Structure 1
Amino acid sequence: MQKHSSSQTRQHLEKHKAILDQRRRELQTRLQAIEHDFVQPRNPDDDDRATERNNDEVLEELGEAGQKELLAVQAALDRIQAGTFGTCVKCGRPISERRLDAVPHTPFCQSCAQSI
């Protein structure tokens, strides 16, 4: 495995922090929009209300998924702050840059993620 210099490591952290900050903003915006949709007045028509209820179920699932991802993103930002970002929380080995590029908020290396 290639050793990274301190400036390379700092660049990788800054890159991932920027990606995670952007994703956090996107998720917060999406969750606010979902919340806004839930408080909108309902249609008095029975058929339209049935459609709205179905839409609400989808929005609720999207909201739950978004909240889970937001928590994972915040945890990754906390690991950056703590100096532990890029280290698997299960085994303590480094998480590959390729994996972090694919899933920047992952707390697990590929091996540990597969075993969960």
Structure 2
Amino acid sequence: MTNTANAASTTASRTRLESQLAELEARFSHLERDLDEPLNADSSEQAVEMEDDQSLEAQALLVTREIVSVKRALARIEDGEYGVCVRCGGDINPKRLDARPEAALCIHCASKEG
């Protein structure tokens, strides 16, 4: 890939990541608002709401992890290390970055984790 094509690809990835980050932060904010709602005075409703809160807390944890992953990818772009595997230092396939712009590992290293 030429430097111009690589720069264009990185710019496109940055745009996607920034958009993804905005969506994730909005989703997290919505989850926080839902979790901050006071419980219903009716004890049977409270049990249902507490179950819902457990689900919302799990979702919030997943969203938080995604936010961290996207922020790390944006930091790698800023540092000029985007597209380089953080484990082995090899190149991450551009098709992998197209599919998962936040990817920090090449497919070889990622397959070792699973």
TM-score range, shorter chain: over 0.9
Provide structure 1 residue ranges, at least 5 long, that are not aligned to the other structure.
Answer: none
Q: What residue in structure 2 maps to residue 31 of structure 1?
A: 28
Q: What do the CA deviations read for 1:36-74 (whole angstroms, capped 9, x no partner)?
A: 111112111112111100110010000001101100100
Number of residue pairs aligned between Structure 1 and Structure 2 = 113
Q: Which of 36, 59, 68 does residue 56 from structure 2 map onto? A: 59
Q: Alignment partner of 2:59: what SS? A: helix
The amino acid that maps onto 1:115 is K
Q: What residue in structure 1 maps to residue 94 of structure 2?
A: 97
Aligned 1:1-116 pairs, distance under 5 A: 4-116=1-113
Tell me the CA shift for residue 6 of structure 1: 1.3
Tell me the CA shift for residue 30 of structure 1: 0.6
Consecutive aligned runs of 4 or more in structure 1 exceeding 2 Å deviation: none
Provide structure 2 residue ranges, at least 5 long, that are not aligned to the other structure.
Answer: none
**TM norm structure 1:** 0.94
Separation of aligned partners in 2, 1:61 and 1:16 = 28
Q: Alignment partner of 1:91: what SS? A: coil
Separation of aligned partners in 1, 2:3 and 2:12 = 14
Superposition RMSD in Å: 0.8
Separation of aligned partners in 1, 2:62 and 2:12 = 24
**TM norm structure 2:** 0.96
Tell me the CA shift for residue 98 of structure 1: 1.2
Percent identity (aligned): 31
The amino acid that maps onto 1:25 is A
